[in-house]
Structure 1
Amino acid sequence: MQSVEKAIEESRAKKKAIIKKSLLGTLVLIVVIAMGGFLVFMLPVTSTEERVPRNENDTTSSPSSIEANQQVFSEAQRKALQVALSKTKEQIEAMSTRVSHSERFREAATTIENKLDDAFNAYAASNYARVEQRLNEINDDNSALLNAFELAYTQPYEKALAAFNQNDNGTAFNLNRESLSVNPQYALANTLQQRIDVFEQVQDAYEQARIGKIENNITKQQQAYATIVRLDPLREDASQALAALNKQQTDTQFASLLAQANRAIEDKDYGVANRVLTEAAAIKANSEEVRVIAQRLKTLIAGENLNKVEEQVAIFISADEWETVSLLAAKGLTQFPTSTSLLKADKNAKAIIESRRQIANFQQRPERLADSNIKQAAMLALKNAEPYFSQSEKLRAQADTFKKMIDDVNTPRAVTITSDNDTYIKVLGVGIVGEVKTKTIQLKPGTYRLEGSREGYRSVIENIQVTPLTTDLSVHITCTEKV
Structure 2
Amino acid sequence: MSKDSDEALRATSFDPKPNASPTQTEAPASPQRGVWIAGVIGLILLGFVVFVLPPQTPAPLPLASSNDPASQGIQVPNGTGLDSTTQTEERSPFAEAQMAKSRRAAQEALQGLLETQARLEARAVNDWADNEFNEATNFAINGDQSYREQDFAEAEINYQRAQSALDALEARLPDEVSERLATLLNMIETGQAEGANRLGIILLQMAPDSLDVIDATARVPSIPEVVALIDQASALYSDRAFGEALGKIQAAIELDPPHKRLQAIAKAYRNALTNQQFLTAMTRGFEALEVSDFDTARAAFKGAAKLKPADESPRVALDQTREAEILSSLNRFISTAAKQEASESWASASETYRDALALDPSLVQASEGLARTEPMADLFLRLDAIIEKPARLVDPTILDDAQTTVREANAALNTADNMPKLQALGSRAQDIVQNASTPLPVTILSDGKTEITLKRVARLGTVTSRVVSLRPGQYQLLGSRNGYRDVLVTLNVGMNRENTVDIRCTEAIRR
Q: TM-score range by the shorter chain?
A: 0.3 to 0.5
Tell which structure's C-alpha radius of gyration is larger: 2
Q: How high is the TM-score relative to the length of structure 1?
A: 0.44
Q: How high is the TM-score relative to the length of structure 2?
A: 0.42
